[in-house]
Chain A
């Protein structure tokens, strides 16, 4: 069964450093998403991406965040200068289109020290 993959599974970084979280969505999917889950809190929407541009973003997704689909298979989330409060589990998801099922990756745990 096709699946969404994410790397790395765990990333530790120092405050102020840049991190790139990587996702490989399911190959024929068209819509891509990033969510995050701070420990003990709810899963929060960050951004959606379609046709090589951001279609929607939340208030959390400020200028420190960016997304890219550099090569037609990878979908990346970059945090330019990490803060302690960016520590969370980050989930990538994709859907084929419309109101289809969102398939989630296993997540990347980001720890900012």
Chain B
């Protein structure tokens, strides 16, 4: 079945550092790919998405490119802020599903001043 694997955390960075969170997936067909963010005490918020190969999703300085050849959707940000401290989830929605999301384990990011 479909699955998502993302790097384990926590990832601890200093402010203004470069952030990468690796995400790879296994799926049949052409899934849609997502990054969700969960701030402390809050629900899941969509950060960005890509629905087909080579699409780049971007939002709030974060970017991820849908790479079908490597089945990857790595999240990057060039200069993180303390406010980016959160848990980040990579997820996919299969092409034949009713929109159901398959999540990775989540990566906690801690940004220190």
Which A residues form the contact surface with B (CB < 8 A)?
4, 31, 33, 35, 41-45, 48, 50, 55-56, 91, 93, 95, 98-107
Contacts and interface: CB of A to CB of B under 8 A. Distances in A.
B44 interface: yes
Nearest to B4: A42
A35 B101 contact: yes
B106 A102 contact: no
A45 B104 contact: no
B103 interface: yes
A99 B51 contact: yes
Contacts of A4: 43
Category for how many chain B residues contact A:
20 to 34
Contact of A56 (B44, B51, B97): B97
A102 B102 CA distance: 12
Nearest to B41: A106
Contacts of A95: 99
Interface of B: 32, 36, 42-46, 49, 51, 89, 91, 93, 97-106
A91 B103 CA distance: 13
A101 to B, nearest CB: 5
Given A99-B32, A99-B51, A99-B93, A33 B45 contact: no
A101 B100 CA distance: 11
Nearest to A98: B99
A56 B2 CA distance: 15
B46 A101 contact: yes
Given A91-B44, A104-B43, A104-B44, A45 B100 contact: yes
